[in-house]
């Protein structure tokens, strides 16, 4: 099937965004190359990607965007040295400005047609979190490159949105934040109601839940994937800061209280579970957005950030309790989060 652009909305055609825990065909990554994203400490970053691919490869195919043939050769050498099977990974010459695939990559939606699943891609406008980090021209067109590669339909809403700002339960409910989606640096011409309609039309959701502020140090203006995540259709896992003197304490408590009074698309109260926050992580005196909520759910495995922190064990145990049938892989993330994101920020699931 060739890539076509459609002027009917995905929801009108029966498409929906599956929950992250539903079966994947693949994970998409963009190989890191922008040293300015990890100023003064880029050297360990490719190794973090190797660890992610090594954890994912036994469970699902991994697609990696690389800038050119030289980058592809270097990546193959690194993965070969890590004993990652070559047939588990595909490299695609799609240049990027940066490595945050969750935010600049396509959001995938699916529908059932004659007993089979049909995939489509949503191409949101990408402006590097409100114009913060130019240039972003290559990142903005990544979905336009991936859709024809997969031979799938491409939908273009024409509004700014990043994948890390939304989370869904796959049954009709979407979780997001006011701090990000209502920020004037995204879509100043749209009201809350208009933004909600776009989410309904393009992601097939019916019910939208709004939290407030994001965590300190988050340059995305409050992405949901550092705050609260659906882990089954009626359960949300959210972070809480136990230290009342920490600047995250009040904002996370406020979000928790909102969640405790929220319901799903069918009016059922949400089950709200909690993760701790790590002790504050700094680099060059800058507080970083370190959060255990920034995990990635893949087939049979969870990629979980750990920080060499006393709370690492509790966070991993909670994830094991929530996902008892998946392997929990804790990957050191202190260097990664210097780029102001973690494993959910750099991955994008392609559902079956």
180 included as an active-site residue: no
pLDDT reported for residue 6: 45
Q: In the sheet that 348-351 helps form, which strands lie side by side, from edge to edge?
A: 89-93, 61-66, 24-30, 348-351
pLDDT in tens, 113-131: 999 999 999 999 999 999 9
Token pair belonging to 126: 């990408």
First to last CA, the chain: 16
Q: Which of the four pLDDT bands, split at 50, 70 and 90, describes residue 292? A: very high
Active-site residue, selected from the candidate residues 45, 345, 349, 350: 345
pLDDT tops 80 at residue 2: no
Average pLDDT over residues 239-259: 98
pLDDT in tens, 13-42: 999 999 999 999 999 999 999 999 999 999
Q: Which of the four pLDDT bands, split at 50, 70 and 90, describes residue 151? A: very high
Q: Which of the four pLDDT bands, split at 50, 70 and 90, describes residue 3? A: low
Place of tokens 């995250």: 248
The 3-class SS string of the chain reads CCCCECCCCCHHHCCECCCCCCCEEEEEEECCCCHHHCCCCCCCHHHHHHHHHHHHCCCCEEEEEECCHHHHHHHHHHHHHCCCCHHHEEEEECCCCCCCHHHHCCEEEEEEECCEEEEEEECCECCHHHHCCCCCHHHHCHHHHHHHHHCCEEECCCCECCHHHCEECCCCEEEEEHHHHCCCCCCCCCCHHHHHHHHHHHHCCCEEEEECCCCCCCCCCCCHHHCEEEEECCEEEEEECCCCCCCCHHHHHHHHHHHHCCECCCCCECEEEEEECCCCCEECCEECCCCCCCCEEECCEEEEEECCCCCHHHHHHHHHHHCCCCEEEEEECHHHHCCCCCCCCCCEEEEC
Place of tokens 């097939």: 204
How far is CA 218 from each of CA 72, 85, 163, 180, 342, rounded to the nearest angstrom? 31, 35, 15, 10, 11
Average pLDDT over residues 322-343: 98
pLDDT tops 70 at residue 339: yes
How far is CA 22 from each of CA 25, 246, 285, 352, rounded to the nearest angstrom? 10, 36, 40, 8
Asked if the bond preceding 246 is cis, omega within 30° of 0, the reply is no
pLDDT in tens, 168-222: 999 999 999 999 999 999 999 999 999 999 999 999 999 999 999 999 999 999 9
Distance CA 226, CA 176 (A): 11
pLDDT tops 60 at residue 105: yes
pLDDT reported for residue 1: 45
- Tell me which residue of 77, 18, 51 sits closest to 205, measured CA to CA: 18
Could you give the domains of the chain?
Answer: 11-345 (3.75.10.10)
Distance CA 174, CA 172 (A): 7
Distance CA 216, CA 79 (A): 34
Token pair belonging to 108: 């995938």
Average pLDDT of the chain, as a whole number: 97
Lowest mean pLDDT among 5-9, 28-32, 228-232, 318-322: 5-9
pLDDT tops 90 at residue 144: yes
């Amino acid at each position: 099937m060739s890539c076509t652009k459609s002027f009917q909305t995905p929801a009108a055609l029966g498409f929906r965004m599956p929950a992250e825990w539903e079966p994947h065909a693949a994970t998409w990554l963009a190989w890191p190359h922008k040293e300015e994203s990890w100023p003064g400490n880029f050297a360990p970053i490719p190794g973090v990607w190797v660890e992610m691919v090594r954890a994912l490869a036994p469970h699902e195919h991994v697609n990696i965007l690389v800038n050119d043939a030289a980058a592809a050769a270097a990546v193959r050498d690194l993965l070969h040295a890590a004993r990652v099977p070559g047939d588990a990974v595909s490299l695609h010459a799609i240049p990027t400005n940066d490595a945050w695939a969750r935010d600049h990559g396509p959001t995938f939606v699916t529908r059932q047609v004659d007993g089979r699943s049909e995939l489509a891609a949503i191409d949101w406008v990408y402006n590097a979190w409100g114009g913060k980090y130019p240039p972003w021209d290559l990142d903005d067109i990544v979905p336009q490159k991936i859709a024809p590669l997969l031979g799938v339909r491409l939908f273009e809403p024409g509004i700014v949105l990043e994948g890390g700002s939304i989370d869904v339960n796959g049954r009709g409910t979407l979780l997001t934040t006011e701090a990000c989606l209502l920020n004037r640096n995204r879509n100043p011409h749209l009201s809350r109601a208009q933004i909600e309609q776009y989410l309904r039309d393009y992601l097939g959701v019916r019910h939208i839940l709004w939290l407030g502020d994001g965590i300190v140090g988050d340059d995305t203006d409050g992405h949901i994937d550092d705050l609260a995540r659906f882990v089954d259709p009626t359960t949300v896992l959210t972070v809480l800061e136990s230290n009342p003197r920490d600047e995250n304490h009040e904002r996370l408590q406020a979000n928790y209280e909102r969640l405790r009074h929220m319901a799903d698309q069918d009016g059922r109260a949400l089950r709200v579970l909690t993760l701790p926050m790590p002790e504050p992580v700094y680099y060059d005196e800058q507080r970083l957005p370190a959060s255990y909520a920034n995990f990635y759910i893949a087939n049979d495995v969870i990629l979980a950030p750990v920080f060499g922190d006393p709370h690492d064990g509790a966070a991993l145990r909670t994830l094991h309790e929530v996902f008892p049938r998946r392997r929990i892989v804790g990957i050191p993330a202190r260097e990664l989060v210097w780029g102001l994101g973690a494993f959910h920020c750099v991955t994008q699931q392609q559902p079956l």
